[in-house]
Structure 1
Amino acid sequence: MERTGGETLLSLTIMSEYSETSSTETFSTFTGLGATSGKLIKRVGTVVVNGVDAILIRRRLNQLEATLGVWSYSTTDSEYVKSLYNDLLELSRPVYKPPIRLRALRLIMGRIEMMRFEDLATAVANWPISYSYGLLKTMILCFRDTLPLIDMSVGIERTEALVAYHYTGSHRAQKPEHCAAFLSWLGLTTSLSTPVFSRVLLQLDILSFVTEIYPTDDHLLRPSAIRFPRQRLLNALLIGLEPVNDAVLINQVHRIRTIFVWARFLNPPI
């Protein structure tokens, strides 16, 4: 098996575990899959997915889709739900082949679009920030109109993001409406995360993203329920950043927030 990042996955071990899983499937915390799939996803990391391990991962994806692809869970086991989201996030990483990653992205975007994202927010808040950066970049690209659909600088990452988001059907709405759920999720995730998460969002130019979505006269056209996610995110950034270490970033957020406040004050809705 190919080695990357200092890790290796032994085909013999996988084959042995696969046989055991196929014959028993009774010792797992993951219902119906056996422990092998969950262990495999945690171990595979940067290892290229091929052969039997790919079969196990697809089985895990099938279970994730069956559980997370619906409006509400069929379980109240918080540890089980946590394991689902941990595996879902892992499979969204670019170290996996595009078909695997795309299926994971569809589930992630679907949970957000349904506004059923509390557990997802918690999982991302506890995820390594180096992984969160890649996921956030991909998700933000879903909503940007400034990049052409075919852009070699972002390549398949943007294509996957667009397909994943369009899969939810939200692209049929106008931009502020279809971004509201995403900004709500970002606000919640930011409030649950460390200051580093807020810095990452600002590094990804989230402030420009917000101003692109919401023109300063937006309050004249949109109900407050559509504007609230924007405010929630800006407030979460201000609270999440460190007053001394992030003084420059805090000033940037304050400036954008003030622009929206003054726009509403000077141009009250009729």
Structure 2
Amino acid sequence: MILIQSSRHNMDSDNQSEEASSLLTTTGTTFSSFSVIPGLGYISGKAIHRVGSVVVDGIDAVIIRRRLAQIEAEIRQSQTYTPAFKFAPPADRLNLLPLDHLDGLKKAEICRDLLELSRAVYGSSIQNRANRLFLRLVALGGIKELAVEIATKPTSHVHDLLKPIFIFYRSFHTTEIEHLKALGYDPRQPNNSEISELVHNPIRFILFLGMAAFQSPDSRFSQLLMDLDIAGYIVDMFQFKIHEDFPRIVWSVVYLLIRKLDAARDASYISELERITDLYADPSSLATLWKFSSIAQNAESFEPVVADWENFFEQEKQWALGQTRVGIMTSLIHYP
């Protein structure tokens, strides 16, 4: 491995050379002696947190790109929509949800690193790659660990991550499409899996946002979703043929948002959500909504609803395995 020194390293040659040597030794051991590259925290923050807002180059870039490559490989094992997996035997299709083959700690580490590397301070190349992997995870259904991590991130960071998805759904104005291209993906291209999967599977995106709102310690995440016009997004989804469980799921998310928002400060947001409920919820959906209302008198006791969401994912997983057994497996991303 060749160490490419930058001007940042030359500012303090003695100290930086010593640090670079240490990093080189560490990474050499890491990549040659371990079958799985440890998370970014393994490097004691040297390769990640010390770069701050400066350009990532040399050994820093090598470490970061290798970590992204490892994350991408782990996610690829969970991708159920690729042709190679469509008609595979059930024994080879056990990992139908994102990162199912990893334990909780490793999932959390991947999610934490992915969100960290999606920050603008790492430069457009690294940020765009991390953004695409983030969108791929969400398109595959999202996972609880990712919801937990994103719920605690700064509002500005989360806004930058989620806004492109909402832009794609709500408008195709030229300036906004250019904004999406600048972030590393073009939603008009049919082979753009990251966002196109979300188009065909809005229920997974809604569920992911609901889980993140549930994990948020206060109302800020729910306020952010309202600022991004999740209400308009929900209304738009009712114009398309979607999964039969969509009404049940979406109204539970709406109710959660109402409970998490501040009754005084967010009164206009709450009124907007209640208006959507009045306009679009059928009697059976309203019955479900009020059932949730009687269960959860506050957002902290919303576990029964979250359990219902997790049950939905488990049912979807079993359905997919059954479809595989009869040889007509289609992508979980594309509902009939």
1:160 corresponds to which residue? 185
State the alpha-carbon separation in 1 of the partners of residues 263 and 214 from structure 2.
15
Unpaired runs of at least 5, structure 1: 4-9, 266-270
1:207 corresponds to 2:237: no
RMSD between aligned residues: 3.5
What SS does the aligned partner of 2:47 have?
helix
Partner of 2:112: 86
Q: How does 1:184-263 map to 2 (within 5 A)?
A: 184-193=207-216, 194-215=218-239, 221-261=241-281
Is the contact made by 1:37 and 1:57 (CA closer than 8 Å) also made in structure 2? Answer: no
1:106-185 to 2 correspondence within 5 Å? 106-144=132-170, 146-149=171-174, 151=176, 154=179, 156-157=181-182, 160=185, 162=187, 167-168=192-193, 171=196, 175=199, 177-185=200-208
Provide the secondary structure at the position in 1 that maps to 2:262. Answer: coil
Are the aligned partners of 1:92 and 1:100 in contact in 2 as well (CA < 8 Å)? Answer: yes
Instruction: State how far apart, in whole Å, the 1-side matches of 2:155 and 2:249 are.
Output: 23
Q: Matched residues in 2 for 1:37 and 1:161: separation?
A: 36
TM-score, normalising length: structure 2: 0.63
Name which one, 1 or 2, has greater alpha-carbon Rg: 2
Change in Cα spacing, 1:54 to 1:172, as seen in structure 2 (3 Å) is: closer
Structure 2: how far apart are the matches of 1:262 and 1:212? 16
| More divergent stretch after superposition (67-76 vs 112-121) | 67-76
CA drift of 1:93 comes to 1.9
Q: Which has the higher contact order (CA 8 A, sep 6+)?
A: 2
Q: Which amino acid aligns with 1:122?
A: V
- Which residue number in structure 1 is paired with residue 63 of structure 2? 56
| TM-score normalised according to structure 1 size | 0.76
Q: Distance in 1 between matches of 2:61 and 2:211?
A: 33
Aligned position for 1:268 = none
What is the Cα deviation at residue 162 of structure 1? 3.4
Query: CA 1:234/1:37 → structure 2, altered by over 3 Å: closer, same or farther?
Result: same
- The superposition leaves residues 164-216 of structure 1 with CA deviations (integer Å, 9 ceiling, x where unpaired) of 9954377278x4x432211111111111112001111111122122222323x
The one-letter code matched in structure 2 to 1:50 is D
Q: Distance in 1 between matches of 2:56 and 2:188?
A: 22
CA distance in 2, matches of 1:57, 1:108: 15
Q: Is the 8 A contact 2:37 2:67 kept in 1?
A: no
Aligned partner letter, 2:67: R
Do the aligned partners of 2:151 and 2:213 also contact (CA within 8 Å) in 1? Answer: yes
The total of aligned residue pairs comes to 250
Q: Percent identity?
A: 27
Q: Is the 8 A contact 2:128 2:184 kept in 1?
A: no
Residue in structure 2 matched with residue 17 of structure 1 by the alignment: 22
